[in-house]
Structure 1
Amino acid sequence: MTSNLHATPEKGFTLVELVAVIVILGVLAAIAIPRFIDFADEAQSASINAIAGSYKAGVDQVRAYWLAKGSPGPSLNLIKLPLAQAGGDLSVNVFGWPADTRGVSLTLNSTNDCLDVWRAVLEIGAPSVAATAAADFTALYLGGNSCRYTYSANTAKSIQFDSNTGQVTVNF
């Protein structure tokens, strides 16, 4: 009986092959990681654009309601809101744009008014807003009946509202 036993060569990777694979993976990672970072920034920008679009839609709905009422001029507590949403009914300025929800002002003229308008025109559950950085957005009255809402996670990004014209702009 003959036995056919001969040694089979060992299978595996050489050191050169392993180093080549590691180098290739390193190059791919160096190319891919910045692209993923860009995607995160683009996603953040898209999210802020969507929030600004919702804000603008809410502001436009307030103005449309004011126009449907016959453009009655500045009006305290014109639009009834759920107490949980904004803390009071929404007042509008002479142009029919949102002013406040505390029934004290017919113009948008303080950071509190900026907070009021954000909470009134966006749905319950929208990103939070506060006068400090303890929320998703920080509200600031700019003067001239304008507000800026700065994104707390990236202060280079903000939404601005002008209650003289109803214009909502996004700043990056």
Structure 2
Amino acid sequence: MKKQAGFTLVELVVVIAVLGILAATALPRFINVQANAQKAAAQGLAGALSSAASLAKAAWMAGGASGTSVQMDSSSVTVSNTTGWPVSTAAGIDAAIQDRAGFTFNAGTGADNATYTKGTCTITYNPSTGLATLGNAC
């Protein structure tokens, strides 16, 4: 008589049931991963905006606290000639950061707030304080 090798139907059903239970408990943990990643990217960009604004102001102050532009890395950044914070235009705060992480830049008029948006996340840059804040929908 030949000895047969392999799995019985009962063993296969038990393995499939165990895998189903594991999938049912793990799935809810991975559903919200994209939303968490988008929020983390927005928090990172908000921090980068605040840091870039602080670096621009520091360069403006080190240069004698005068003028309307500072040199940062390889770009010239337009700043307010009274406060030193980058203005809310493409030549201001958007030139001060190096990567937007896929966010769309919506310029202000210089003294008005600029925004960065991606999906439901919005980050607002305030050129009078140099701070970036995260919107509630993110």
- Same-fold call, TM > 0.5? yes
Name the Cα RMSD after superposition: 2.8
Residue of structure 1 in register with 2:105 after alignment: 139
- Residue 79 in structure 1 maps to residue 73 in structure 2: no
Query: In the superposition, relative to structure 1, how do residues 28 and 142 fare at CA in structure 2: closer, same or farther (>3 Å)?
Result: farther
Matches within 5 A, 1:18-167: 18-72=12-66, 75-76=67-68, 78-80=69-71, 85=75, 89-93=76-80, 94-99=82-87, 108=88, 113=89, 115-123=90-98, 126-127=99-100, 136-141=102-107, 145-151=112-118, 155-167=119-131
Return the alpha-carbon distance in structure 1 between the equivalents of residues 22 and 50 of structure 2.
42
Q: CA deviation at 1:56?
A: 1.4
Residue 137 of structure 1 aligns with an amino acid whose one-letter code is: F
Cα deviation for residue 36 of structure 1 reads 2.6
Q: What whole-Å deviation, never above 9, does each CA across 1:117-141 have from its counterpart, x for those lacking one?
A: 3432113xx236xxxxxxx221224
- What percentage of aligned pairs have identical amino acids? 31
Once the two structures are TM-superposed, the CA of residue 150 in structure 1 deviates from its matched residue by 0.5
TM-score by length of 2: 0.75
Q: Distance in 2 between matches of 1:127 and 1:142?
A: 16
Change (3 A) 1:51 1:157: same
Q: Distance in 2 between matches of 1:81 and 1:12?
A: 68
**Uncovered stretches (5+) of structure 1, i.e. residues with no partner:** 1-6, 100-107, 129-135
**Structure of greater relative contact order (alpha carbons < 8 Å, 6+ residues apart):** 2
State the structure with more CA Rg.
Answer: 1
Structure 2 residue ranges without an equivalent (≥5): none
TM-score by length of structure 1 reads 0.63
Count of aligned pairs: 134
Q: Distance in 1 between matches of 2:84 and 2:64?
A: 10
Aligned equivalents of 2:70, 2:37: Cα separation in 1:
34
